[in-house]
């Protein structure tokens, strides 16, 4: 660590305005006269606090080992003769994800805004996944600790509560800290219960799930009128699912499933890694995430002839038989399996079902509603135009064929 007792700090650096303040430290904007640039300087609020000083130094060491575009780099650590310490780091120009979400009156559940937020989320996953590969657990992932730069840069901030894991995979705090630490509204149950030995990569999976939940609901998973309320919820670990809380919104079913899996009370029930969570969000971005999932046991009737055609289905797993009843006898038309669609004719033409669909094995399907299909098509303007033109042509031909039969 560089020694600044000879006064060279004041010769080189001009301390300007305060740009951030937390429980332990203050961050100032500083001008570097030698390199002609602004940097951020982090100093303790109470310089004589030895435990806070140790935590600040350890935070600097952690960040120094995390050379990643999504993690703000450390430039230097400077110490004075009295033991006070300054951390100099890259100055991030932008806004926190918390500030961006606070601007929305209703959850950004569709379109360009949701797509942009999920792109930010994927970059956060990249940074946190890299930290895990270096044995570092963040332990305080919140929208307030995510900075979004003016040109799309995304940074994971505030590594002051990070944990290191040794080769035996035992989590150990960088600075001594045996109590409950973190942001209660986004805290994993094992964290709220103070079970330091149980904190690991799955704890950060929960934190990322909590951020995704905030994107969907515009509030964190745990919220109440008092801190006791929040801690009680976090300790219990039962996150309320988004859809029942906001029946007025057409929430993306796939994204809700991803968030709730990440927010499972038990670490073993969450995504196995940050990469697994990231992968599911990318699948959602590629399409299909607005469709709900339904399962049917073997032998069940999924669609009945004559019923209204308000949904179509995409088979995920299993097989179904499509048949009609003629003089009380079953007339098989075809069998559909994974990747195939049924119920689309009545869905597009808004006419009653013309056949029955029966599960010949246990079946899992994506449920396509008109609202969900519209949401999916919002992600691509050219695809929306193409599909709508195809649907119009399909309906036109169907009506023409019915007229010819008459």
- Assign residue 169 a region (left: φ > 0; alpha: ψ between -120 and 50; beta: otherwise): left
Of the two residues 240 and 168, the one the predictor is more confident about is 240
Please tell me which residue in 140, 248, 269, 398 is annotated as part of the active site.
140
Q: Structural domains in the chain?
A: 2-90 (3.30.200.20), 94-286 (1.10.510.10), 292-405 (2.60.120.10)
Indicate the range of 43-47, 201-205, 279-283 predicted with least confidence. 43-47
> Would strands 154-156 and 312-317 be described as parallel, antiparallel, or unpaired?
unpaired
Highest-pLDDT range among 2-6, 343-347, 357-361? 357-361
pLDDT of residue 168: 40
Helix (H) or strand (E) holding 314: strand 312-317
Q: What is the pTM of this model?
A: 0.77
Q: Which of 311, 378, 385 is nearest to 350 (CA)?
A: 311
Half-sphere CA count of 328, side-chain side, radius 13 A:
0
- Banded pLDDT at 394 (limits 50, 70, 90): low
Q: Which of 392, 399, 384, 314 is nearest to 351 (CA)?
A: 399
Task: Please list, in sequence order, all residues whose beta carbon lies within 8 angstroms of the beta carbon of residue 28, skipping any fewer than 6 positions away.
Answer: 15, 16, 17, 18, 19, 40, 41, 43
Q: How far apart are CA 371 and CA 367, in angstroms?
A: 11
- Banded pLDDT at 174 (limits 50, 70, 90): very low
- Banded pLDDT at 52 (limits 50, 70, 90): confident
pLDDT digit string (tens) for 249-290?
Answer: 888 888 999 999 999 999 999 999 999 999 999 988 877 677
List C-alpha distances in Å: 191 to 34, 180, 227: 44, 6, 15
The beta-strand segments (E) located in 65-145 are: 74-79, 85-90, 94-96, 136-137
Report whether 261 contacts 269 (CB < 8 A): yes
Residue 76 among the catalytic residues:
no
- Banded pLDDT at 173 (limits 50, 70, 90): very low
List C-alpha distances in Å: 16 to 39, 94, 96: 10, 18, 21
């Amino acid at each position: 660590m560089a020694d600044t007792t000879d006064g060279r700090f004041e010769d080189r650096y001009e301390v300007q305005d305060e740009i951030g303040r937390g429980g332990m430290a203050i961050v100032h904007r500083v001008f570097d006269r030698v390199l002609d640039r602004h940097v951020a300087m982090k100093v303790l609020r109470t310089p004589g606090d030895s435990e806070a000083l140790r935590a600040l130094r350890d935070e600097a060491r952690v960040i120094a080992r995390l050379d990643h575009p999504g993690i703000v780099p450390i430039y230097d650590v400077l110490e004075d003769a009295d033991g006070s310490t300054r951390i100099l780091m890259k100055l991030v120009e932008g806004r926190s994800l918390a500030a961006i979400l606070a601007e929305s009156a209703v959850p950004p559940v569709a379109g360009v805004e949701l797509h942009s937020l999920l792109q930010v989320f994927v970059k956060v996953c990249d940074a946190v996944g890299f930290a895990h590969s270096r044995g570092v657990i963040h332990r305080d992932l919140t929208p307030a600790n995510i900075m979004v730069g003016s040109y799309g840069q995304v940074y994971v901030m505030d590594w002051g509560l990070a944990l290191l894991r040794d080769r035996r995979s035992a989590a150990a705090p960088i600075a001594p800290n045996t109590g409950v630490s973190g942001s209660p509204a986004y805290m994993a149950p094992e964290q709220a219960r103070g079970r330091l030995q149980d904190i690991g990569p799955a704890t950060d999976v929960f934190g990322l799930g909590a951020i995704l939940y905030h994107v969907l609901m515009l509030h964190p998973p745990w919220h109440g009128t008092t801190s006791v309320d929040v801690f009680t919820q976090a300790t219990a670990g039962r996150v309320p699912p988004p859809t029942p809380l906001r029946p007025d919104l057409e929430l993306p079913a796939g994204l809700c499933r991803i968030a709730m899996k990440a927010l499972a009370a038990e670490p073993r029930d969450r995504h196995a890694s940050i990469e697994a969570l990231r992968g599911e969000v990318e699948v959602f971005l590629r399409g299909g995430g607005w469709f709900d999932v339904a399962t049917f046991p073997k032998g069940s009737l999924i669609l009945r002839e004559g019923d209204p055609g308000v949904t179509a289905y995409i088979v995920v797993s299993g097989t179904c038989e499509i048949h009609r009843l003629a003089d009380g006898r079953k007339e098989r038309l075809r069998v559909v399996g994974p990747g195939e669609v049924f119920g689309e004719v009545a869905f597009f033409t808004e006419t009653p079902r013309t056949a029955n669909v029966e599960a010949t094995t246990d079946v899992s399907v994506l449920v396509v509603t008109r609202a969900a299909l519209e949401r999916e098509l919002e992600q691509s303007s050219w695809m929306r135009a193409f599909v709508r033109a195809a649907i119009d042509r399909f309906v036109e031909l169907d009506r023409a064929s019915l007229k010819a039969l008459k």
